[in-house]
Amino acid sequence: MKKLLSILIFILLFNSNAIAFNFKEDIDKYGSKNEGVVSSIYILNRCSGLLQYVAAMTINAEGKKNTVEKYIDFSVITIHAATRLHSNLHSVSYTKAREILLAKRTKLINFYKEDAEKLMLINGRFLSGHILKDTKTCLLLAQFAKNNN
Question: What are the tens digits of pLDDT across the range 44-76?
Answer: 999 999 999 999 988 877 777 888 899 999 999
- What pTM, to 2 d.p., does this model score? 0.83
| pLDDT exceeds cutoff 50 at 12 | no
CB 145 within 8 A of CB 77: yes
In angstroms, the Cα distances linking 72 to 20, 51, 108, 109, 111 are 28, 7, 15, 13, 18
User: From its phi and psi, is residue 50 left (phi > 0), alpha (psi between -120 and 50) or beta?
Assistant: alpha
**pLDDT category of residue 2 using cuts at 50, 70 and 90:** low
Q: Quick one: which of 51, 15, 73 has its CA closest to 132?
A: 51
